[in-house]
Amino acid sequence: MFDMTKSKYVDYMECNNRGWLDKNRRNEKLEEDLSENATVQGGIEAGIMARGIFGDYTLIDDGSIDELASKTQLAINNHTSVICEATFKYNNNICKVDILKRNDDGSYSIYEVKGVTNPYTTASRKTMDRKYIDDIAYQYYVLTNLGINVTSNYLVYLNNEYVYDGHYDLNNLFIIENLTNAILLEFPNVESNIEKINRCINQAEEPEIIFASKTCKECPYNKHCYKVKEVPEKNSVLGLYKENKKYDYLNQGIKSFEDLRKNGIKLKPFNQRMIDSRLDNLPPFINNNELRYFLNSFKYPLYFFDFETYQNAIPKTICTRPYQQIPFQYSLHIMHEDGRLEHREYLASNYNEPRLDLIIQMINDLGNTGSIIAYNDSFEKSRIKELARDFPAYYEPLMNMLDRFKDLAEVFEKGYYYQKEISRTSIKDVLPSLFPNDPSLDYHNLDDVHKGDEASKAFVMLPTLDSESAYKLRSSLLKYCCLDTFAMVKIYQFLKSLV
Ligand code: SF4
């Protein structure tokens, strides 16, 4: 008989097929390295930190599920006030409660901890993400069926307004939201949901695949499902850029660019251009007027600028918040009107507080006039606003930079230039399309650091390394960030040559 856990219940509620695939096609699962997954790591950190919310606690660990369940029962018999990782098994349904708190009247409260700052599905924070309701409702089902009197259910998550001052104030670091009403509403469905999942898991044939954008993109079985549904590798609708309906198209049997055209489906300009260009083998498209107008709005000297950042679920740098992006490095290529190119850069050596020296050098390097050119500039502008907020002594010079920004990605996002090899507008997609034979612009030729998340990890690792390894990794970081801004220079020069 199949053992259900709360994470399986949540996954299978999102898509029953995942249960069937876990049982019958496990070898087709793309195994993720969870140590690389920031959300998973954030959840682990938050879970450990939240244990102390109610003071002293008893942690249930070390042992098989049956041993853990016995230890939990013993803690309950002893009227332990706070039990972390309290483990229960009802029939084949297992659950571990992050925090189980005994109330004054002898009843219990369930606290489920998540390492997220926004558990809602909308920015207006009106609709709680369904998976958190399912998660807690499953726990409530297991505990009540074992005769535990649970009277309230809470979701605990990180407060993105919390500012770390060197000591953790757990009551402010976490938001505790009472979901008891929602859980009581969902509870009557849990048993039939478990039965339905079990029926699906045990059926002989693979269930019909119905794609859903929310779940399939991140699903470890998506390659399997695309193969079963014969989604082509080339010119597939999955290659559409920022198109919410692509999974709906797949469900309607519209799988390729050819199918989209055959069905006369109207798309956003970037996607329409991509389809026409690929299917009709068109030469590059250049909107000369728009491109010239855009490039002429740049003012010399041109500052090609890029930050590297890291973030922590639980803030560790003073005056930062959960998941705040903390700049530790930048690269800057300065192009003067006469064509001269200078390079400047910053890489923090103060690993506890990388921002102050960065601000001072950045204000000096970026001067007061000239356009600051970034690729997707909203990221750089947001970091500068946060630096101004966190370091008020530098508020004015930092905020004065914002109006000088120009976003080079606009050229590709808005379609002033398009060629058929460009399927995304990120710099790492655009660059090899424009310069396919230039090894000096190939990120693959870099050592150790090839993309932003590798840069973040490298920086966090630096203080743990011996001086020789740290020197080598710092050089890799410098080369990587330098390529980001040099790539912008090359793209700019290429575009200039067209108009
Ligand atoms: S790819 Fe989609 S349909 Fe297939 S198992 Fe995953 S979530 Fe379900």
Nearest-atom index, ligand 1, CA of 21: 5
Distance, CA 140 to ligand 1 centroid (Å)? 27
342-352 tens-digit pLDDT: 999 999 999 99
| 432 and 379 in a common domain | yes
Distance, CA 10 to ligand 1 centroid (Å)? 14
Instruction: Tell me the HSE value of 84 on the side-chain side, using a 13 A CA sphere.
Output: 17
Q: Is the CB of 215 under 6 A from ligand 1?
A: yes
Q: Cβ(85)–Cβ(59) under 8 Å?
A: yes
| 241 and 164 in a common domain | no
Let me know if residue 272 belongs to a domain: no
What is the band of 63 on the pLDDT scale with cuts at 50, 70, 90? very high
* pLDDT at residue 91 is higher than 90: yes
Nearest-atom index, ligand 1, CA of 226: 1
Distance, CA 223 to ligand 1 centroid (Å)? 9
Nearest-atom index, ligand 1, CA of 210: 3
Q: What rounded mean pLDDT belongs to the chain?
A: 95
| 192 and 94 in a common domain | yes
How far apart, in whole angstroms, are the C-alpha atoms of residue 140 and residue 360?
A: 53
CATH number for the domain that contains residue 150:
3.90.320
What is the band of 423 on the pLDDT scale with cuts at 50, 70, 90? confident
Tell which residue, 12, 13, 32, has the closest CA to residue 22: 12
Let me know if residue 410 belongs to a domain: yes
Let me know if residue 279 belongs to a domain: no
Nearest-atom index, ligand 1, CA of 220: 6
| 385 and 259 in a common domain | no
Q: Is the CB of 250 under 6 A from ligand 1?
A: no
Q: What is the predicted pLDDT for the residue at 358?
A: 98
Distance, CA 35 to ligand 1 centroid (Å)? 23
Number of domains composing the chain: 3
116-159 tens-digit pLDDT: 999 998 777 789 999 999 999 999 999 999 999 999 999 999 99
What is the band of 33 on the pLDDT scale with cuts at 50, 70, 90? low
* pLDDT at residue 35 is higher than 70: no
Mutate to test the pocket of ligand 1, among 29, 209, 251 (most ligand atoms within 8 A of CB): 209
Let me know if residue 223 belongs to a domain: no
Helix axes 467-498, 427-434, angle to 10 degrees: 60
How far apart, in whole angstroms, are the C-alpha atoms of residue 89 and residue 5?
A: 9
User: Residue 314 carries which side chain, given as an amino acid letter?
Assistant: I
| 298 and 242 in a common domain | no
* pLDDT at residue 300 is higher than 90: yes
302-340 tens-digit pLDDT: 999 999 999 999 999 999 999 999 999 999 999 999 999
For the chain, how many residues are written? 499
CA distances from 159 to 41, 114, 176, 180 (A): 17, 11, 9, 20
Distance, CA 276 to ligand 1 centroid (Å)? 30
With a pLDDT cut of 70, the percent of the chain lying above it is 99
Distance, CA 238 to ligand 1 centroid (Å)? 14
Q: Is the CB of 225 under 6 A from ligand 1?
A: yes
* pLDDT at residue 107 is higher than 70: yes
Q: Is the CB of 24 under 6 A from ligand 1?
A: no
Q: What is the predicted pLDDT for the residue at 2?
A: 77
225-273 tens-digit pLDDT: 999 999 999 999 999 999 999 999 999 999 999 999 999 999 998 999 9
How far apart, in whole angstroms, are the C-alpha atoms of residue 229 and residue 19?
A: 18
What is the band of 114 on the pLDDT scale with cuts at 50, 70, 90? very high
Q: What is the predicted pLDDT for the residue at 36?
A: 63
Let me know if residue 276 belongs to a domain: no
Tell which residue, 392, 351, 375, 387, has the closest CA to residue 431: 375
Q: Cβ(183)–Cβ(109) under 8 Å?
A: no
Let me know if residue 215 belongs to a domain: no
Q: Is the CB of 12 under 6 A from ligand 1?
A: no
Distance, CA 226 to ligand 1 centroid (Å)? 9
Let me know if residue 171 belongs to a domain: yes
Task: Identify the domain containing residue 367 by its residue range.
Answer: 290-498
Let me know if residue 197 belongs to a domain: yes
* pLDDT at residue 53 is higher than 90: yes
431-472 tens-digit pLDDT: 999 999 899 999 999 989 999 999 999 999 999 999 999 999
Distance, CA 21 to ligand 1 centroid (Å)? 9
* pLDDT at residue 87 is higher than 90: yes
Q: Is the CB of 219 under 6 A from ligand 1?
A: yes
* pLDDT at residue 1 is higher than 90: no
Q: Is the CB of 16 under 6 A from ligand 1?
A: no
